[in-house]
Amino acid sequence: MLEITGLTAGYHGGTVLHGLDLSVPAGTVHAVVGHNGAGKTTLVHTVAGLLRPGAGSVWLAGRDVTGQPAHRVARAGIGLVPQGRRVFAGLTVAEHLRLAHRPPRRGDAPRPSVWTPARVLELLPRLGERRGNRGADLSGGEQQMLALGRALLGSPSVLLLDEPTEGLAPALVGQVQALVTTLADQGIAVLLVSPSPEKAVRCARTLTVMTSGRTTLRLDGTKARQDPAALHAALDLAPAPLERSKPYLRPFRA
């Protein structure tokens, strides 16, 4: 589904990604883990069309989308859930969903499924309960659900998730992981990036460890869950605990 070959990208003349190769088949979750500064967000932004690559290619279902602007990449079938959620403080949940709804057009590549606001609310019923609430009034978990629902309304074939559990309470982390698995089961290819291997390994079929914009290790998800020693070693982590929590940006409200 998503094929990345020899991808190089960076900012202001500097190189962050160095010839990265990565594949995400349909219906699977590929997790990219690495410390802050490893190039994970640069990877997501380059695939999404927010950053032009210096070299390499990005292919979606046999279609070359390398270097295309973000709106064309989205139309091709790549959806982005950005780090920090980035919901609009003054818009209601219903307004977010209405504005984000982009039904596939004639001539678009086939998608695993077509998403509507009603279907998003069926998957994420809490958003239905908060339809009239503005973005600023939502909890961190609700904002993350809204960012995910907004991305789904483009009916993506590939979903890019940039640290989707950042700042969430443990119970909500589990809910997000379950949703990711559900979406992959429905045929969507999911590329998830996270600094926390413990969170990523739970739902990933494949894991890639990035260090300074390069692949340093690739692991089968099942093997990594059974024996995380190689993953620990690649990230230079002590055997336990694996989790490295981040401070909340704001108090969590259920």
Which has more confidence, 65 or 86?
A: 65
Q: Residue 202's pLDDT is what? A: 84
Tens of pLDDT along 197-216?
A: 888 888 899 999 999 999 99
* Burial category of 63 from C-beta neighbours within 10 Å (exposed 0-12, middle 13-18, buried 19 and up): exposed
pLDDT higher than threshold 50 for residue 253: no
pTM across the whole model: 0.86
CA-only gyration radius of the chain, Å: 18
Tens of pLDDT along 54-80?
A: 999 999 998 999 999 999 999 999 999
Residue 107: pLDDT band with limits 50, 70, 90: low
Q: Residue 244's pLDDT is what? A: 40
The domain ranges of the chain are 2-235
**What does each C-alpha distance from 198 to 104, 135, 142, 175 come to in angstroms?**
35, 29, 22, 15
Q: Residue 109's pLDDT is what? A: 67
Q: State the CATH architecture for 2-235.
A: 3-Layer(aba) Sandwich (3.40)
Mean pLDDT of the chain: 87
pLDDT higher than threshold 60 for residue 250: no
Give the helix ranges, DSSP H, for the chain.
Answer: 40-47, 70-76, 93-100, 117-123, 125-129, 140-152, 170-185, 197-201, 221-226, 229-235
Q: 124 by DSSP, 3-state: which?
A: coil
Q: Residue 237's pLDDT is what? A: 60
Containing 60, the helix (H) or strand (E) segment is strand 55-60
Q: Residue 167's pLDDT is what? A: 78
How far is residue 208 CA from its own chain's centroid?
14
Tens of pLDDT along 92-102?
A: 999 999 999 98
Q: Residue 247's pLDDT is what? A: 36
pLDDT higher than threshold 60 for residue 238: no
Tens of pLDDT along 150-164?
A: 999 999 999 999 988
125 Cβ neighbours under 8 A, 6+ residues apart: none
Tens of pLDDT along 126-177?
A: 999 999 999 999 988 899 899 999 999 999 999 999 988 887 878 788 888 8
pLDDT higher than threshold 80 for residue 249: no
Give strand pairing partners of 9: 17
Q: Which whole number is the average pLDDT over 37-41?
A: 93
Which has more confidence, 238 or 59?
A: 59
pLDDT higher than threshold 80 for residue 241: no
Q: Residue 169's pLDDT is what? A: 79
Cα separation, 23 vs 93, in Å, equals 34
Q: Residue 242's pLDDT is what? A: 40
Q: Are 197 and 166 in contact (CB under 8 A)?
A: no
Tell me the DSSP string of 150-202.
HHHTT--SEEEEESTTTT--HHHHHHHHHHHHHHHHTT-EEEEEES-HHHHHT
Show the tokens assigned to 211: 């260090």
Give the rounded percent of residues in the chain with a pLDDT score beyond 70: 92
